[in-house]
Chain A
Amino acid sequence: MSAIEIDIGLRRGSFSLSAAFSADTGITVLTGPSGSGKSTVASAVAGLARPERGRIAVGGRTLFDAANRIDVPVATRRIGYVLQDAMLFPHLSVRRNLTYSRREGDLTLEKVTEILGVAHLLDRRPAGLSGGERQRVAIGRALLSGPSLLIMDEPLANLDAARRAELMPFIETLRDTLALPILYITHSWPEIIRLADTVVLMEQGKVRATGPLQSVLTAGDDGVRHLLPDGSVIEATPTAGDVDGLCRFETPAGPMFLPRASASGGKVRLFIDAHDVAIALEPPRGVSVQNVLSGTIDAMTVLDDSHLDLRLALTGNQAIRARITRHAGAQLGLHEGMTVFALIKSVSFDRRLQFRGIE
C-alpha cells in the first residue's frame, strides 16, 4: 500500500481532469504547465475541490470515495497545506499561528521551531517577518497540526532566488527527519531536480508520466519530451582530496570530476544538460573534457531537420541524454545498440542549483 493513492476525475466547464497516481513517503512532485490540473489535484486531496468520481486515500485512510459516498471534511482530513503566500493569520503572533491547531501531533513546538529555525520569532507578528521566515512559520504551523500528508503548493514561487536557496535545505530536512509524505507542486525544474523523489508529470488534466525523477527524465517518450528539460540526473558521492579545485565524484556509471559544490560530503544530484554531452566512438585522447562515461545507445530520436536526441544506457543502471546534430550522427554512423563514450565538460555544471544533499 502506498502512502498516497489518488484516482480522481472532475469537470470544471471546458476543463476536465482525470488523474491517477500513487506515491510513497518522501517528496512527490506534481508538475506540468499552467492549467495542467496540478493545483486542482492538490485541492481535491485537501478537500477544497470535490471530484465527481474516484478515490483519494492517504496512509491507508480513505478521504474521498465517490462510489461509497465518503467525503471527509477539510477539518478532519489531517492534510497540512502550505500555499504560495504563507497565509499566516495577520492578527496573531507567530507563536499563536504555530499553535493554532488544537490537534495533537507527534511534534512539539520546541522541535518544530528548532527544525525550522523560527524560535527567535515567536513573539513577532507576521507583518514583521521576511518572506522566507513567513514560509517557514507556515510550514511549522502545518506540521504542528499532526498531518498525515503535507501539501506544498508552489511554496517557493513568491520568493527570490536567495530565499529559495535558503528554504530548500529546510524542506530536505523535513523529508529526511519526519516520516511524512510530501506532495509538492511546482513548475520549477531546479526545485524538482533537487527535491523530487517521485515525479508526476501532468498536462491538460492528465497524468503523462510518473515515476522516480531519473526514469521520468530519461523515459524517452516523445509525448512528454516537450514537458521535460533536456537533460538527465545522476546521483554522485564526492570523495575527499581535491586536485586543482576538482573533486572526484563516485557515480554508479563511473567517476566524474567536477568543482565541489559544498563543503559537506553528502550525496548530490548532478543535472547533466543534454547539450553539454558530446559523443565519441573511442575513448578520446588529447581533449580537455574531464568526464568520459561509456554506454550503449538505447534510443535515438530525430527531433527536427538537424537535431538528434540520444539516450545512453550507462553502467550501474544509469541513463543520460545527449543532443547532437543529425550530421554528426551520420558521420559517426550512430545506431541503436552501439557502444559509445559520452563526454561531459566539468564547467557545465551549475554549482548553485543542481546539486543537492541526499542524506
Chain B
Amino acid sequence: MYPLTPFETEALLLSLKVAVAAVACSLPIAIAVAWLLARKEFPGKSVVNALVHLPLVVPPVVIGYLLLVTLGRKGIVGAWLDETFGIVIAFTWIAAAVASGVMAFPLMVRAIRLSIEAVDTRLEFVARTLGASHVRVLLTVTLPLTLPGIVAGIALAFARCLGEFGATITFASNIPGVSRTLPLALYTALNMPGGEANALRLVVLSLVLAFLALGISELMARRVTRMVTGIG
C-alpha cells in the first residue's frame, strides 16, 4: 500500500533535510553578499564576485574536492574544527548540505542581487531624508522590495540543492541515510544489476518533487509580488 520503499523514503527525506538546511543557512549570507555586490564599491569586489560565481563555472567535483581539502578532517579548517570543537563535517549529512549550499549559492546571490539593483536608490534616499537610519532603510524599504527576488533565489537554490550530485558525492560520499540523497540513490540504483525499475521510480519521484517545488515557488512569487507592489 505504501507507495514508497524504505530506500526511497530515506533518500527523499534526506534530500529535503539537506536542501532545507542548505538554503536556510546560506540565505542570510547570500543576502549580505548580494547587497554588498549591488550597492557597495570596495577593493577586491571583482575577486569576491568571481569567487561567488565559481561553483557555476567549474565542475562540481572540483568544488567537492576543494571542500574536502578545506573542511575535510585533515583540511585546513576541518582539522581546526576537529581539534577545537570535536566537529567532523566530511562524510556526514552536514557535508551534503554544505556541498549543495555552496553549489546553489551563486544562483541565490544572482537572483537577490538583481532584485536589490532594481530597487530605486531614490526610495532609499527619501527614507533617509525622513530620518530613517541605514538599518531601518534596509529593513523597511530595501529588503521588503527585494522580497520577490529573495523568493526566486530560494526556489532556484532549493531546486539546485535537490539535484546536487558531483560535489556531494566527492565531499560527503554516498552513505545510505547520511549522504545518499535522491540523485545519489538514483545513481546507486542504476549501478545495481536489475536496478532499472527502481531507478525509474526514483526518476518519477524526482520529477514530482521538482514540479511541486516549482509550483509552490510560483504561487509564493505571485503572492509576494502582489504584496510588494499593491498591483494584481
Contact = CB atoms under 8 A, between A and B. Distances in A.
Interface of A: 46, 48, 73-81, 83, 85, 87, 89-91, 100-103, 125-128, 141-142, 145
16 contacts: A74-B128, A74-B129, A75-B132, A76-B131, A77-B129, A81-B126, A83-B126, A87-B123, A89-B127, A89-B141, A91-B228, A91-B229, A100-B130, A101-B131, A103-B131, A126-B230
A102 B131 contact: yes
A204 B120 CA distance: 28
Interface in B94-152: 120, 122-123, 125-133, 140-141, 144-145
Contact of B129 (A102, A127, A142): A142
A318 B144 CA distance: 56
B171 to A, nearest CB: 40
Contacts of B125: 46, 48, 74, 81
Contact of B230 (A73, A77, A83, A125): A125
Contact of A100 (B120, B127, B227, B229): B127
Contacts, number: 66
Contact of A145 (B120, B131, B144): B131
B131 A75 contact: yes
B231 interface: yes
A79 B133 CA distance: 15
B122 A85 contact: yes
Contacts of B140: 89, 100
B122 A87 contact: yes
Contacts of A145: 129-131
Contact of B130 (A73, A83, A101, A127): A101
A91 B141 CA distance: 8
Contacts of B229: 90-91, 125, 127
Given A87-B123, A89-B141, A90-B145, A141 B130 contact: yes
B120 A87 contact: yes
Contacts of A75: 128-129, 131-133
A266 B126 CA distance: 35
Contacts of A141: 130
Contacts of A142: 129-130
A102 B93 CA distance: 47
B145 A91 contact: yes
B77 to A, nearest CB: 39
Closest 9 CB pairs of A and B: A125-B230, A101-B130, A74-B128, A127-B230, A81-B129, A145-B130, A91-B228, A103-B131, A127-B231
Nearest to A151: B129
